[in-house]
């Protein structure tokens, strides 16, 4: 990752990081099997849970961690290890991770001027998910 790619991604993410609910919604929408892994949301209507306090609390934790990773680029090894340690035991699949990525990118395309940041995001997400796939 170049310094230019990192600053592009950080500026791009800055615009949406306050909308953790919208981001988690996009991820669950992209792959309902991700939602099913969350015991308190499994089997529930996404449109209904979206407006609840527990959904917001989970969204803040997940997007908060993602935000930490973006802010620490390119030094994300410790974050990747922490993610693998918590998510490998949950049997998260590569398909689910790819769908998380697709849901996130879909969200960014709908809510930001994505074209100028697309290649920087591509390189960043390749780095992050590539590091995860190497370990789980
Ligand atoms: C927690 C599933 C991807 C960050 C959790 C929990 C589940 C889960 C079941 C526990 C929720 C609870 O406390 O009830 C998944 C699945 C994923 C995924 C199926 C498939 C793509 C991600 C990604 C990130 C992330 C990509 C961030 C970059 C977190 C964080 C927590 C969490 C920070 C809270 C701390 C913890 O309990 O580990 N996840 N997750 N997750 N997830 Fe994920």
d(CA 119, CA 52): 35
pLDDT tens-digit series, residues 55-108: 999 999 999 999 999 999 999 999 999 999 999 999 999 999 999 999 999 999
What is the CA(62)–ligand 1 centre distance, in A? 6
Which residue has the CA at smallest separation from atom 30 of ligand 1?
62
Contacts of 50 by beta carbon, 8 Å cutoff, 6+ apart: 21, 25
Q: Name the residue with tokens 């939602």.
A: 35
- Give me the chain's average pLDDT, please: 98
ipTM: 0.97
What is the CA(3)–ligand 1 centre distance, in A? 28
User: How would residue 8 be classed by pLDDT, with cut points 50, 70 and 90?
Assistant: very high
Which residue has the CA at smallest separation from atom 41 of ligand 1?
62
């Amino acid at each position: 990752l170049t310094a230019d790619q990192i600053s592009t991604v950080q500026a791009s993410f800055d615009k949406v990081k306050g909308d953790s609910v919208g981001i988690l919604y996009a991820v669950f929408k992209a792959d309902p099997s991700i939602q099913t892994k969350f015991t308190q949301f499994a089997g529930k209507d996404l449109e209904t849970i979206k407006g609840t306090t527990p959904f917001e609390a989970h969204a803040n934790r997940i997007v908060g961690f993602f935000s930490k990773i973006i802010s620490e680029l390119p030094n994300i090894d410790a974050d990747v290890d922490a993610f693998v340690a918590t998510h490998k035991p949950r049997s998260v699949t590569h398909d689910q991770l790819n769908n998380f990525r697709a849901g996130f990118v879909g969200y960014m395309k709908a809510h930001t001027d994505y074209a100028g940041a697309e290649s920087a995001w591509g390189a960043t997400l390749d780095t992050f998910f590539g590091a995860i796939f190497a370990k789980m």
